[in-house]
Amino acid sequence: MEIQKLTKTFGKFTAVDSLDLTIYKGEIYGLLGPNGSGKTTIIKMLSGLLKPTTGSTKIFGNTLPCKSVMNTIGYMPQETAIYLDNTVHENLSFFGRVYGMSKEHLEKREQEMLQFVDLSGWRDALVSTLSGGMKHRVSLACALIHEPKLVFLDEPTVGIDPELRATFWEYFGSMVKKGITVIITTHYMDEANRCSRVGLLRQGKLIADGRPSDLKNNTRTNSLEDTFLALAGRKKP
């Protein structure tokens, strides 16, 4: 993925400012920054859901917008984007059909995804009856049902218990071993340290990009939180 001078403005407010970035196949790339730093806006532009004001993005050599690329992308938004009045099964089935999956492939993947997100016993439950964390897990399963080559995950582990969060990250690791690229936003520093590379964002600008260990070494800090504060010119309270 090649991103050049990607910018998004809303009126006089610049949400993302001239982002230049290359993300490689088979890596987990983490976008880190405080609320309002542009993480979600970037994810929406890269996944084709939000038109940039200026700049360009190439995915697998194709410049967005590009229809052929869309079926290779999985996207999990921060907000709930599934059908609350349908069952878990109906949601997975709907998204699978949208991506053109065969009946046999869809049935197999549904079983795998339900097991992965620990919702096998809730297959026929209405999504509206589930807790917030469970809805989040259904949303993740829907994003991965079609085995995408590129996955955008906006805060995928919010509201998830630590044990299941660890399971998710094991699965993300197995995905990149298959050459799948994962782009993720997170507030958890332990998750950020598990990324192949991270981009630190402040007020819509990318202020640093690299492996977590390199960023910490370069700033002589012990944590990514301290790294961010050092690069932003702020002191830890």
Order of all β-strands in the sheet with 62-63: 13-22, 2-10, 54-59, 62-63
| CA 193 to chain CA centroid, nearest Å | 15
**Cα 40 → chain centroid:** 9
Positions of E strands within the chain: 2-10, 13-22, 28-32, 54-59, 62-63, 73-76, 150-154, 181-185, 197-202, 205-210
Q: Which residue type occupies 98?
A: V
| Domain 75-148, CATH homologous superfamily name and number | P-loop containing nucleotide triphosphate hydrolases (3.40.50.300)
What class has domain 1-72+149-157+179-237?
alpha beta
**Is 1-72+149-157+179-237's fold the same as 75-148's?**
yes
Tokens 């929406």 locate to 44
Where are the domains positioned within the chain? 1-72+149-157+179-237, 75-148
End-to-end CA distance of the chain: 37
Which DSSP state fits 191?
H
Contact 93, 146 (CB under 8 A): no
Can you give the length of the chain in residues?
Answer: 237
pLDDT tens string for the chain (237 positions)?
A: 999 999 999 999 999 999 999 999 999 999 999 889 999 999 999 999 999 999 999 999 999 988 888 889 999 998 888 999 999 999 999 999 999 999 999 999 999 999 999 999 999 999 999 998 899 899 999 999 999 999 999 999 887 888 888 888 989 999 999 999 999 998 888 899 999 999 999 999 999 999 999 999 999 999 999 999 999 876 555
pTM, two decimals, is 0.90
